[in-house]
Amino acid sequence: MLDSPFDAPPTNGAQRRHVMDRTGGAQAGSGHPDAVGFRPLYRQVYDTLLKRLADAVWQPGQILPSEGQLAAELGVSQGTVRKALDALTADSLLVRRQGRGTFVADHDDKQSVFRFFKLRPDREGAGMPTSRVVAIAEAAASADERGRLDLVRSARVVRIERLRALDGRLCLIETISVPASLFPGIAQMELPNTLYSLYAIRFGITIATANERLKAVALGAREAGLLEVAAGLPALEVDRIAVDLEDRPVEWRLSICLTQELHYRSVLR
Amino acid sequence: MLDSPFDAPPTNGAQRRHVMDRTGGAQAGSGHPDAVGFRPLYRQVYDTLLKRLADAVWQPGQILPSEGQLAAELGVSQGTVRKALDALTADSLLVRRQGRGTFVADHDDKQSVFRFFKLRPDREGAGMPTSRVVAIAEAAASADERGRLDLVRSARVVRIERLRALDGRLCLIETISVPASLFPGIAQMELPNTLYSLYAIRFGITIATANERLKAVALGAREAGLLEVAAGLPALEVDRIAVDLEDRPVEWRLSICLTQELHYRSVLR
DNA sequence: AAGTGGTCTAGACCACGTG
DNA sequence: ACGTGGTCTAGACCACTTC
Structural domains of chain A, ranges and CATH numbers in brackets: 1-106 (1.10.10.10), 110-264 (3.40.1410.10)
Distance, in Å, from the CA atom of B125 to the CA atom of A222, rounded to the nearest integer, reads 34
Which residue would you say has higher pLDDT here, B186 or A20? B186
Residue of B209, B216, B236 with shortest CB distance to A267:
B209
Tell me if chain B has a CB within 8 Å of the CB of A264. yes
Q: Chain B residues with CB inside 8 Å of A251's CB?
A: none
* Average pLDDT for chain B: 87
Chain B residues inside the 8 Å CB shell of A243: none
Q: Quick one: which residue's CA is nearest to C3's C1'?
A: B99
Pairwise CA distance, residues B210 & B115, whole Å? 10
Positions 99-128 in A, CB within 7 angstroms of strand C? 99-100
Residue in chain B lying closest to A91 (CA): B269
Q: Could you give the CA distance from residue B93 to residue B58 in angstroms, rounded to a whole number?
A: 12
Residues of B in contact with A214 (CB under 8 A): 214, 236, 259, 263-266
CA–CA distances in Å: residue A210 to residues A29, A99, A251, B60: 43, 32, 9, 32
* Strand B207-218 with B234-244, pairing: antiparallel
Which has more pLDDT, A19 or B190?
B190
Q: How many CB atoms lie within 10 A of CB B220?
A: 13
**The pLDDT of residue B36:** 53
A35-39, A101-105, B28-32, B209-213: lowest mean pLDDT where?
Answer: B28-32
Please provide the DSSP assignment of B63-78 as one string.
Answer: BPPPHHHHHHHHTS-H
Of chain B, the percentage scoring pLDDT greater than 90 comes to 70
Q: Which residue is nearest to nucleotide C17 (CA to C1')?
A: A99
pLDDT value of residue B19: 64
What is the model's pLDDT at position B5? 31
B227 Cβ under 8 Å from any chain A Cβ: no
Assess A126–B contact: CB distance below 8 Å, yes or no: no
Chain mean position to CA A200: 9
Each residue's pLDDT expressed in tens, for chain A with a length of 269 residues = 433 333 333 333 333 344 677 655 443 333 333 445 688 999 999 999 999 998 889 988 999 999 999 999 999 999 999 999 999 999 889 999 999 999 999 887 777 788 999 999 998 777 788 999 999 999 999 999 999 999 999 999 999 999 999 988 999 999 999 999 999 999 999 999 889 989 988 898 989 899 999 999 999 999 999 999 999 999 999 999 999 988 899 999 999 999 999 999 999 98
- What is the layout of strands, in order, in the sheet containing A234-244? A130-140, A156-166, A169-179, A249-257, A234-244, A207-218, B262-268, B119-121
Cβ of A234 near strand C (distance < 7 A): no
Residue B245 corresponds to which amino acid? L
Angle between the A67-74 and A41-54 helix axes, to the nearest 10 degrees? 110
> From CA A233, how far away is CA A221, in angstroms rounded?
10
- Pairing of the two strands B130-140 and B119-121: unpaired
State the pLDDT at residue B22.
65
**pLDDT range class, residue B3, cuts 50, 70, 90:** very low
Q: Over 50: is that where the pLDDT of B136 sits?
A: yes
Rounded distance, CA A48 to CA A54, Å? 10
| Distance C10 C1' – B98 CA (angstroms) | 25
**How is residue B9 annotated by DSSP?**
P
Count of CB pairs separated by less than 8 Å, A with B: 103
Please provide the DSSP assignment of A194-253 as one string. Answer: SHHHHHHHHH---EEEEEEEEEEEEPPHHHHHHHTS-TT-EEEEEEEEEEETTS-EEEEE
Cβ contacts of B80 within 8 Å, gap of 6 or more? B41, B42, B45, B71
Nearest-Cα distance to chain A for B123, in Å, is 12
> What residue spans of chain A are helical by DSSP H?
41-54, 67-74, 78-90, 110-113, 143-149, 195-203, 221-227
- Measure CB to CB from residue A215 to each of B217, B239, B259 and give the nearest one: B259
Instruction: Check B215 against A239: CB less than 8 A apart.
Output: no
Which residues of the protein have their beta carbon within 7 Å of strand D? A 8, 11, 33, 37-38, 64, 66-69, 79, 82, 85-86, 96-102; B 10, 12, 14, 16, 40-43, 76-80, 83, 97-100
Residue B33 has pLDDT above 60, yes or no: no
